[in-house]
Amino acid sequence: MTGWIVPRSDTDLAAAATTLFAAEFGVRPDGVWAAPGRVNLIGEHVDYAEGLSLPIALPHSTAVAVRGRGDGRMRLRSGLEPWDGAVADVGPGAPAGWAAYLAGVVWALRRTGLPDSAFGVDAAVASTVPIGAGLSSSAALECALALAVADLSGLPADDAGRAVLASCCVAAENEVALAPTGGMDQAIALRGQAGHALLVDSADGSVAAVPLDLAAHGLTLLVIDTRAPHRLVDGQYAQRRRSVEQAAARLGVPSLRHAVVGDLRRLGDPVLTRRARHVVGEIGRVRETLRLLESGRIRDVGAVLTASHVSLRDDFEVSCPELDSAVDAALAAGALGARMTGGGFGGSAIALVEEGEVDVVAGQVHSSARASGLEFPAFLRLGDGGRAARRIA
Ligand code: GLA
């Protein structure tokens, strides 16, 4: 039997977070805020190279019930290890674990000029974004709290305000959780638009909504959580980022956004060349995808997704047997294209499929994992996609 991870309505999610909040703290929260998980359609491992990516918000969200305290202290609750502390206790590596993503956001928001005393919080979390599945559960957590604090302290939450919040969330992730990620996940969680993918240009931080109505074309995106655990704080992600920065330095350009394939032979080193070839090629594939979407040739995007997977698997070497098995099985079952999505080394894949064939493709991905002795994957439907960070109660 294939297992589906279904989203909850905002009302249900708000009720779950409120119930936990009331049980933990004995009072009602000031409100509940939510932010979505994401899949990246294409543009992988390029955000830290000033590249282009095209993420989409999932209908699965993380909700945070929050009450402002006004004393700079924090009490953070979820189903995991609770954390109590103050802004002064937060710094590189502290707290560890899930609480880093919330405490780190409060810590980073100091840079907006608010005094610590303005935003102590009690917070309780409820979520349908699977953790460690490469679907940005951490960015969803950060962005929901960032918006909560902004609303409670009167910070602007228009797109410019949200861009500032997104950079605080990235700082939390880089400087407190010590995961050296780029900014794509926070951009989509805070600045996405319903019914659209978001073109994120990491060279200047600008975003543009790209209409994406797969259903109108009889298509859908199947998300496959391979259940192979994925952790960005492990060394491999950081190592890839270093290689990309090193390649740019050797070529004498500020980032690989400024390189073309012809430049790469000057790198000499075969590993650096392959890493850089992925980045330069992937930015080209994002442009190609935009052209295909604009001209309504959505089915042709499938081949571009598959080419992205091959590059991530062979040149960038961030795939793994579970992701390759999911992609190969989806393609064999008739998917128009498939690729790993997110940081890799485990986590999730996406497959572009005809709407009527979702169950067949999911069934074959499941059977193939079983035949190879792999963990059974779980599946998510993108449906109409999700909504960016918002107040839900
Ligand atoms: C993770 C990071 C993002 C991005 C992707 C790979 O999701 O958080 O910043 O680098 O990996 O595209």
What is the tens place of the pLDDT at every residue in 267-290? 999 999 999 999 999 999 999 999
Indicate whether 2 pLDDT > 90: no
Top mutation candidate among 40, 169, 184 for ligand 1, by most atoms within 8 Å of CB: 184
All residues at 6 or more sequence positions from 206 whose CB lies less than 8 Å from its CB, including other chains: none
The side-by-side arrangement of strands in the sheet containing 73-77 is: 83-86, 73-77, 121-127, 55-68, 31-40, 390-391
282 lines ligand 1 (CB under 6 A): no
344 lines ligand 1 (CB under 6 A): no
Indicate whether 373 pLDDT > 60: yes
Provide the whole-model pTM. Answer: 0.97
Taking a C-beta distance cutoff of 8 angstroms, is the pair 189, 387 a contact?
no
Whole-number Å distance, alpha carbon 184 to ligand 1 midpoint, is 6
3-state secondary structure of 207: strand
Tokens of 42: 């294409």
Q: What is the DSSP letter of 335?
A: -
Q: How many CB atoms lie within 10 A of CB 189?
A: 37
What is the tens place of the pLDDT at every residue in 140-164? 999 999 999 999 998 899 999 999 9
pLDDT (mean) for 45-72: 97
Indicate whether 137 pLDDT > 60: yes
45 lines ligand 1 (CB under 6 A): yes
Q: Which of 47, 122, 185, 315 is catalytic?
A: 185
Tokens of 251: 């070529």
3-state secondary structure of 211: strand
What is the tens place of the pLDDT at every residue in 304-341? 999 999 999 999 999 999 999 999 999 999 999 999 99
The side-by-side arrangement of strands in the sheet containing 206-211 is: 52-53, 196-201, 206-211
| 185 in catalytic set | yes
Which range (75-84, 118-127, 182-191, 199-208) has the least confidence?
118-127
All residues at 6 or more sequence positions from 113 whose CB lies less than 8 Å from its CB, including other chains: none
Please report the pLDDT score of residue 231 as a whole number.
Answer: 66
Atom of ligand 1 at shortest range from CA of 53: 12
